[in-house]
Chain A
């Protein structure tokens, strides 16, 4: 047992810079995944059969296959077909957004269905158009109910983002591995990476609690 953190010190800024990369990655995937997931959930509860079928099939495929397979397909296979190389970061973001949208759409669909039917009827009886009703009456209430489940999905996304290191995006994980390999010492950089991920997740958890409390003001 000989841990030597002193040797790690010169590489710490290099690894910590990965936080920025990971955060960018997670934030973009999250926003895109959330928007696309909301759209998919509206397809699922909508009246148009073909859209409903599409959203169900989509969810089934993205939930039914490994994330890493989806990522490798997008990163290696898409350029093979189209000749367009979209880069590791974009490929990672695309994969995570498409994948988490499948999960998020299920969460939101459940949330919308859990909103009392009377809410929709009251809005309809007041002549409120569908779009306004969804945006201002149904979704805000659904969102409140699903916040814990949604935070869970975001936390998973943050942690799972480490697999973009496989296609060479320079996130925290990848940087820790590079430092480990160049020093022939893996324990210290991986421990640091682990600590950073843990702190990121804790921050997300706290942010979720604050939001939950704020949304609870109407209770």
Chain B
């Protein structure tokens, strides 16, 4: 579904992606892990053009993503570390905004679908609250509902639980697990190793802008083939 070839990206003189090649199949759940500054987030942000890559190519269903900006963004949903909910809109308006503005569906239709989505993330009772009245975990669940409202084919998660208090991590991971069960294609940048091990089909381990390992989680976590991955896992597990 997504083919990445020789992806390179620099910020000024700092090369953060040094030739990443991989592919993501439909329905796959991919965990991207690695130390801070290894280029994980940049890699993810390149996939929906929040960053433009310098070299290499990204093909989505055979088409170059540079030629399909808005269309691409309809296909790919994204969840951010800091939620980025729209603070001046209610929870319901946050979820219905893009479907109404971008997909041009009617307000009543959008609200009906939004309420369904809010139910699946367990926040039906918060529909008319403003984001400032929600906990971090609730905000992130709304952000997931907001992304899902566009009916994306792929969901990107950029450290979705890193900004949360520990007791709220579980509720967000639970919502993500439900998505996995529904067969959603997901790319998740995360520091939750237990979660990655449990739900991922593949683990991409990145270090210093390179893709160091691309492995099934069982193998990666039990018996990583590179010293770099071994050292990393020793620190975080």
Contacts and interface: CB of A to CB of B under 8 A. Distances in A.
Q: Do A and B bind?
A: yes
Given A119-B84, A136-B97, A141-B88, A127 B132 contact: no
Interface string A125-145: 111110010001100110010
A125 B50 contact: yes
B50 A128 contact: no
Contact of B70 (A118, A129, A218): A129
Contacts of B85: 122
Contacts of A119: 84, 86
Interface string B92-123: 00000110011000000000000000000000
A4 interface: no
Interface stretch (B15-23, B75-83, B200-208, B229-237): B75-83
B82 A118 contact: yes
B108 to A, nearest CB: 19
A85 interface: no
A124 B147 CA distance: 12
B74 interface: yes
Interface residues of B, number: 28
A218 B132 CA distance: 7
Contact of A121 (B77, B80, B132): B80
A122 B132 contact: no
B185 interface: no
Contacts of B126: none
Contacts of B87: 141, 218
A126 B73 contact: yes
Contacts of A136: 97, 101
B130 interface: yes
Interface string A104-130: 000000000000101101111111110
Nearest to A218: B130
Q: Which of A116, A127, A129 has the largest count of B CB atoms less than 10 A from its CB?
A: A127
Contacts of B86: 119, 122-123, 137, 141
Nearest to A140: B88
A125 B97 contact: no
A49 B146 CA distance: 35
A199 B16 CA distance: 60
A144 B88 contact: yes
Q: Which of A128, A217, A218 has the largest count of B CB atoms less than 10 A from its CB?
A: A218
B48 interface: yes
A143 B50 CA distance: 25
Contact of A132 (B74, B80, B101): B101
A60 B40 CA distance: 43
A130 to B, nearest CB: 10
Q: Which of A118, A119, A122, A141 has the largest count of B CB atoms less than 10 A from its CB?
A: A122
Nearest to A132: B101
Contacts of B48: 125
A219 B131 CA distance: 8
B150 interface: yes
Given A118-B83, A124-B50, 15 more contacts: A122-B80, A125-B48, A125-B50, A125-B76, A125-B147, A126-B97, A126-B102, A127-B74, A128-B97, A128-B98, A129-B70, A136-B97, A136-B101, A140-B88, A144-B88
11 contacts: A121-B50, A122-B143, A123-B86, A125-B50, A125-B73, A126-B98, A126-B150, A127-B102, A128-B101, A132-B101, A141-B86
Interface of A: 116, 118-119, 121-129, 132, 136-137, 140-141, 144, 217-219
Ranked 8 nearest A-B pairs via Cβ: A127-B73, A122-B84, A118-B84, A126-B98, A125-B78, A218-B130, A127-B102, A127-B74
